[in-house]
Structure 1
Amino acid sequence: MTRKLIRTLVAAALCLHGGAAVAAADYKIVTANEKGTYFAIGADLAKFVAPDATINLEVLPTAGSAANIKHLRYDLGVKFAIVQADVYQAFIDRAAQGSKDASIIIRPLRVILPLYNTEIHYIVRADSSMNYLHDIKDAKINGGELGSGAALITHTLYRMMFKGPIPEAQDSFLPNQEALVKLIGDKSVDVVVVAAGQPAPLIVNMKPEAQKFIKLLKFDPNHPSSKLPLTVYSYSTVLASSYPNLLKEDFTTVSVGAFLVTYDYNLQFTVGHLIRFARSLCQNFPVLQAQGHPKWKEVHLSLPALGPGWIYYPPTTREIRACIAAKAPAKPARKCSAEERILGFCS
């Protein structure tokens, strides 16, 4: 008997309600490179959240956020996606500008929960004269694969900082591992951009000898070229403890938010499973923070107001808000006044 079948049978046995078993669902979540943080977050959801929702959740590696939006919109079985905020916003902006294709893709997508800020790592050779992001104007830059959030943020930041696109001769779209080999090998790449929440598995697994070959660029929020990027992006501190084999001190980089997204489903079977997923997410949130990827410690179980064009998925929103309210500490009873006690209104 396969492990998947065992999980299905166990989930069905544990989820009896009113004498009827809830049928397990086989769903997929699209993430990013399997060595990245999005993939790790998806794996945590599959391990700690999905089982209590009677969902067998398959975690799929992908090219990244832009591809994820299309996978969620069109691929069979894909019910969840982790998406970079600027990528989602880019679709909304294009739809608002009249793009029918963008509107068709983004209009029915819904947010389940804001996650955390994704740090953008700019990697260069250790002997490079570059030390800051504002030094990369003339460098050969690899922003990641087409369809990835890293590729979009690389090009968007460059355009914002240097008032124009990356010249074609300086631009490449290789997978991270291949780009890193070229960075320190034939040196046909000068900068490799990795978008992943710290600690990014690709970087944290590097050996101490890596310090001889690579370093990370800093982001100076006070530099004139940083003014425009900070209208869209944030800046975050990369901790030396995140990459002990590579860093000796903390430094600042640019970052962008990540969101857990779904589709505006209305079939009762799917809606029911997504409601149970939201309930399990709330109930198992302490487990995610204690046993999941360190980035879970930066996630808040809250639903802040979203920008124009962004919409929460109502069924999961109701469930999460109800769960949050149930967990909220009870307000202390108001102290009775002497008059209220005398009149018997309060004891």
Structure 2
Amino acid sequence: MPLRAILTGLILIALLPLADAQPKAQYAQPKAQYKIVTASKAGTYIQIGRDLAKYVAEPAGVELEVLESKGSAENISRMRFEPGVKLALVQSDVYQAFLDEAKAGNPDAGNIIRPLRLIMPLYDEEIYFVARADSPLESIHEIRNKKIGVGPIGSGTALTSRTLYQLMFDEPIPAASAQYLTNEEALAQLTVEKSIDVAIIVAGQPAKLFSDMKPEARKYIKILKLDEKAMESARAMKTYFPATIRTSSYPSWLTEDVPTLTVKAYLVTYDYGLQSTVGHLVRFADSLCTNFDKLQANGHPKWKQVRLELPPLRQGWRYYAPMEKRLRSCIASQPAAPAYTSSPPPRTRPCTEQEMVLGICKR
């Protein structure tokens, strides 16, 4: 065979893999490796994080690792300093507490919070004040000077517990009264060891911790009620808002709806400027908007309470501009979605004449 023909054949063979690989190189873009910090494995945050990873991050070309944490306060610090953490779930009172500390001149708080940015508000998280079933306590404002499981150090629950106590009683919780325990530890010390009187737990309903309880749970625990007429409750409601823990969330053991307080959850990021990171987060924002219906249909029930909107923020709070721009553009192009309303509790009394006249009698 002539040398020229051999060389031509070898060149063609050498070019075949290149010709085959080139189209793949155009489309096989490596996924960004990001992390989101949430809360304990029995809480709502971690389920929200998993929903974001599956229905939002994956279609956006982001591999989102969902990490457990102690809660919001730790999440803010990890969002700021831990490599790879690009997203965090944070309670509104915790975020505001960092801003207040920064404004008061705390340099560490300012260094942590000032570069952080909000993506969007999510939903309200209910605050559970859990006591033993045989406890004489009935209402939230009766917990003064009781031994309280306030959540782990570094958690949003701990900050919420301390803030609520300060608001209600105009004094900090006594050091001897506060026990820094996980949710599971607090319930064990409440019901088994009986070394605390109340466990404060912050979680969006239905929370796995309570959903997994059997009917016998009502023999051991109860949830204290918010008495809106109490002076202490009025003080608390300057920062927190009234809410209801519904029997439909825990039908196996909760026998009646329980009025309580609530705090808002936010999705948070950092003020990134690196082009590749901005690009991935912008795609995440696009995916969040276009796949929002999947989150509401297939994700945790709390997604049904989330509205795809960017409301005005209080002073010192800022949205992440690149994601805000894309979300506002996408939201503007969407048909208006009806606001979520929970099913009303079953009526236990006859309708009044006034209710029938007003058309608000639901039998």
TM-score, length basis structure 1: 0.88
Tell me the distance in 1 between the aligned counterparts of 2:170 and 2:256: 32
Q: Is the 8 A contact 1:215 1:246 kept in 2?
A: no
- Alignment partner of 1:179 is 2:175: no
Aligned-partner residue type, residue 52 of structure 1: P
After TM superposition, the structure 1 = structure 2 runs for residues 133-282 of structure 1, keeping only pairs within 5 Å, are 133-282=140-289
Aligned-pair CA distance for 1:281: 0.5
Tell me the distance in 2 between the aligned counterparts of 1:26 and 1:318: 23
**Which of residues 92, 112, 126 is equivalent to 2:119?**
112
Aligned-pair CA distance for 1:237: 1.1
1:67 alignment counterpart: 74
Q: 3-state SS of the aligned residue for 1:304?
A: coil
Aligned-pair CA distance for 1:22: 3.9
Aligned-partner residue type, residue 54 of structure 1: G
Tell me the distance in 1 between the aligned counterparts of 2:44 and 2:98: 23
Tell me the distance in 1 between the aligned counterparts of 2:272 and 2:28: 22
Aligned-partner residue type, residue 160 of structure 1: L
Give the aligned length: 314
2:359 alignment counterpart: none
Aligned-partner residue type, residue 185 of structure 2: E
2:13 alignment counterpart: none
Q: 3-state SS of the aligned residue for 1:228?
A: helix
Superposed CA RMSD in Å reads 1.5
2:330 alignment counterpart: 323
TM-score, length basis structure 2: 0.84
Aligned-partner residue type, residue 43 of structure 1: R
Aligned-pair CA distance for 1:222: 2.2
Q: Is the 8 A contact 1:87 1:149 kept in 2?
A: yes
Structure with max Cα Rg: 2
Tell me the distance in 1 between the aligned counterparts of 2:69 and 2:115: 21
Q: 3-state SS of the aligned residue for 2:193?
A: coil
Aligned-partner residue type, residue 98 of structure 1: G
Q: 3-state SS of the aligned residue for 2:80?
A: helix
Tell me the distance in 2 between the aligned counterparts of 1:107 and 1:20: 38
Question: Structure 2 regions of 5+ residues with no counterpart?
Answer: 1-22, 337-363
Deviations 1:140-185 (A, max 9, x none): 1001101111111111111111121111221100111111111111
Aligned-partner residue type, residue 203 of structure 1: F
Aligned-partner residue type, residue 264 of structure 1: D
2:63 alignment counterpart: 56
**Which of residues 82, 107, 111 is equivalent to 1:100?**
107
2:356 alignment counterpart: none
Q: Is the 8 A contact 1:211 1:245 kept in 2?
A: no
- Alignment partner of 1:297 is 2:294: no
Aligned-partner residue type, residue 315 of structure 1: P
Deviations 1:268-295 (A, max 9, x none): 1100000010110111100100110000
2:129 alignment counterpart: 122
Aligned-partner residue type, residue 226 of structure 2: F
Tell me the distance in 2 between the aligned counterparts of 1:22 and 1:90: 40
Aligned-partner residue type, residue 313 of structure 1: Y
Q: Is the 8 A contact 1:130 1:136 kept in 2?
A: yes
Aligned-pair CA distance for 1:19: 4.8
1:311 alignment counterpart: 318
Deviations 1:253-280 (A, max 9, x none): 1100010000000111100000010110
Q: 3-state SS of the aligned residue for 1:241?
A: helix
Tell me the distance in 2 between the aligned counterparts of 1:102 and 1:41: 27
Tell me the distance in 1 between the aligned counterparts of 2:284 and 2:233: 40
Tell me the distance in 2 between the aligned counterparts of 1:150 and 1:219: 18
1:81 alignment counterpart: 88
Tell me the distance in 2 between the aligned counterparts of 1:309 and 1:182: 39
Deviations 1:27-60 (A, max 9, x none): 0000011110011100100111111111110000
Q: 3-state SS of the aligned residue for 1:123?
A: strand
Tell me the distance in 2 between the aligned counterparts of 1:118 and 1:139: 24
Aligned-partner residue type, residue 101 of structure 2: R
Tell me the distance in 2 between the aligned counterparts of 1:89 and 1:59: 24
Q: Is the 8 A contact 2:74 2:154 kept in 1?
A: yes
Q: Is the 8 A contact 2:223 2:258 kept in 1?
A: no
Tell me the distance in 2 between the aligned counterparts of 1:20 and 1:129: 65
Question: Structure 1 regions of 5+ residues with no counterpart?
Answer: 1-15, 330-347
Moved more, 125-134 or 165-174: 165-174
